[in-house]
Each structure stands twice: as structure tokens, then as C-alpha cells.
Amino acid sequence: MKDQKTISEWQKSVDAWIKEFGVRYFSELTNTAILMEEVGELARLMARTYGDQSFKESELNKDLAEEMADILWVLMCLANQTGVDLNQALLKNLEKKTTRDANRHKNNPKL
């Protein structure tokens, strides 16, 4: 499935889905808690896939892409609820990092 959308367009798709199927958004506080839960699920999968922990039998069918998409979904819900255009926010953040960190990592002997 190749659906090439901007992040702003994906935010609109999430909003349309919520309005059609989800009845309404959960509260911002509830969605923040759900976001933390989803990040925890990704962390657990990363620890078992790339770290030293072993999988429990119930975790064997977890999908890394699906866990990341769950995080994006809830983040887009929160952005929609709070009036944040993630597309613009990412552009601004990249510009900030580029200006602030132009030589920082190149000069880091640890890297």
C-alpha cells in the first residue's frame, strides 16, 4: 500500500477517521497516557529484538512497524487536539537542529 501523503495530510486522515468511526477524541490527558503506553510497547519490542531480553511467547508476533505507527497515530491525535501542524513543527525543528548542531556531532570524538 503506497499512500504518499504529507504529515499534515495524515493528520487530516486521522481526524476524519476519528469523526467517522471513533465518535470523538479521547481527552488530551487520556491520549497522553495512551502515547506513553504505546512508547512503552515499542521500547519492550526494541529491548527484545535488539537488546538482551528474550521474547515471551505472547510477544512473538509483535510488529515493529505497527508499534511505531501506533505512536504516530496517537501523536497525530494529540496534535489535532492541540492545533499543532506536525509538518510545520518538524520543519521548524529540523531547522533549529541544523543551526544549533551544525558541527556538534562532527566534532564529537565519541562518534
DSSP per-residue string spanning 11-56: HHHHHHHIIIIISSPPPHHHHHHHHHHHHHHHHHHHHHHTSSPPPP
- 2 falls within a domain: no
How far apart are alpha carbons 9 and 7 in whole angstroms?
A: 5
Say what the pLDDT of residue 1 is: 61
How many domains, the chain?
Answer: 1
pTM metric for this prediction: 0.86
- Please give the residue range of the domain that contains residue 38: 7-85
pLDDT per residue as tens digits for the range 76-99: 999 999 999 999 999 999 999 999
Residue that wins the pLDDT comparison between 108 and 21 = 21
Using CA of residue 86, residue 87, residue 93, residue 97, what is the dihedral sign? positive
C-alpha neighbours within 13 Å on the C-beta side of residue 69: 7
- 71 falls within a domain: yes
- 47 falls within a domain: yes
Q: What share of the chain is helix, strand, coil (3-state, %, to 5)?
A: 70, 0, 30
For residue 11, the domain's CATH number is: 1.10.287.1080
Provide mean pLDDT across the span 100-108: 86
- 72 falls within a domain: yes
- 103 falls within a domain: no
Is the distance from CB of 12 to CB of 86 less than 8 angstroms? no
Which of these ranges, 8-12, 75-79, 103-107, has the smallest mean pLDDT?
103-107
How far apart are alpha carbons 3 and 34 in whole angstroms?
A: 26
